C-alpha cells in the first residue's frame, strides 16, 4: 500500500476515535450519578438548615452544588404531581412549613411514601441551595447503613 495512503487512513481512524470519545465523554456526557457518589458533607438536617438561616452567603459557598448526606427525623412526605418530596420542617413562616425539602429520585418514591412521620432517616442528594424559605435537595436517595 502506498505509504501516504497508510498515513491518511491511520490519521482518519485516529480522528474518528477522537470524535467518538469527545462526543461520548464531553458533549454527551451523562449526568452525575448522585445516588452512588460520595457525599461531600454528612451532617444533621437541622444543622444544615440553621447554617443557611444564620448566614446564607457562607452556606451558599459551602454547600450549593455539593452532595450532602443528611440525618434527621422526617417531618412528612409530600406528593406533587409525579414528584415525591421528603421534608424536614423547622419553622412556620409566610410559606407555612419551612425547612429542608428533598426531591426524591423516582426509584425511591414508593419507599419514601411508606416512611412514617418522625422516623429517623438518612437521605443523600444534590444541594441546590436556599431560596430564603427552604433548603432544596435534588435527586435524593435513601441511605441505608
Partner 1 sequence: MKNIVKIAIVLLMISGSVFGQKYITKNGKITFFSDAPSEKIEGHNNQVNTAMDISTGDFVFKVLMKSFEFENALMQEHFNENYVESDKFPNATFKGKVTNLTEINFTKNGKYKAMVEGDLTIHGVTKKVKQTGTFEIKDGKILTNAKFSIAIKDYNIKIPNTVLKNIAENVDITVNVSLDKLK
- The CA-atom distances, in angstroms, between 64 and each of 44, 138, 144 are 16, 11, 24
- N-term to C-term CA, the chain: 63
Among 80, 116, 120, 145, binds partner 1 (CB under 8 A): 80
Cα gap 26→20, rounded to integer Å: 10
Candidate segments 4-12, 37-45, 56-64, 112-120, binder of partner 1 by CB under 8 A: 56-64
- Give me the torsion for CA of 114, 117, 121, 123, rounded to 10°: 80
- Residue 48 burial (CB < 10 Å; 0-12/13-18/19+)? buried
The reply to whether 112 sits near partner 1 by the rule CB under 8 A is no
Q: Identify residues 27-46 at the interface with partner 1 (CB under 8 A).
A: 27-32
The answer to whether the CB of 133 falls within 8 A of the CB of 98 is yes
Among 21, 95, 106, 110, binds partner 1 (CB under 8 A): 95
Candidate segments 42-50, 67-75, 110-118, 130-138, binder of partner 1 by CB under 8 A: 130-138
CB of 127 to partner 1, least distance (A): 8
CB of 23 to partner 1, least distance (A): 11
Binding mask 7-26 for partner 1 (x = CB under 8 A): -------------------x
Pick the closest to residue 56 from 131, 124, 138, 128 (CA basis).
131
Interface with partner 1 (CB under 8 A): 26-32, 60-61, 64-65, 80-81, 83, 85, 94-96, 101, 103, 126-134, 136, 138
Amino acid at each position: 500500500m502506498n505509504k501516504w495512503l497508510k498515513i491518511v487512513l491511520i490519521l482518519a481512524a485516529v480522528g474518528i476515535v477522537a470524535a467518538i470519545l469527545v462526543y461520548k465523554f464531553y458533549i454527551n456526557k451523562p449526568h452525575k450519578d448522585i445516588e452512588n457518589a460520595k457525599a461531600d458533607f454528612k451532617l444533621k438536617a437541622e444543622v444544615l438548615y440553621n447554617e443557611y438561616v444564620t448566614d446564607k452567603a457562607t452556606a451558599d459557598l459551602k454547600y450549593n452544588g455539593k452532595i450532602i448526606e443528611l440525618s434527621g427525623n422526617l417531618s412528612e412526605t409530600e406528593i406533587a404531581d409525579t414528584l415525591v418530596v421528603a421534608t424536614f420542617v423547622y419553622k412556620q413562616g409566610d410559606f407555612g412549613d419551612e425547612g429542608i425539602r428533598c426531591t426524591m429520585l423516582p426509584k425511591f418514591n414508593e419507599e419514601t411514601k411508606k416512611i412514617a412521620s418522625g422516623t429517623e432517616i438518612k437521605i443523600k442528594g444534590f444541594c441546590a441551595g436556599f431560596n430564603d424559605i427552604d433548603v432544596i435537595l435534588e435527586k435524593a436517595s435513601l441511605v441505608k447503613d
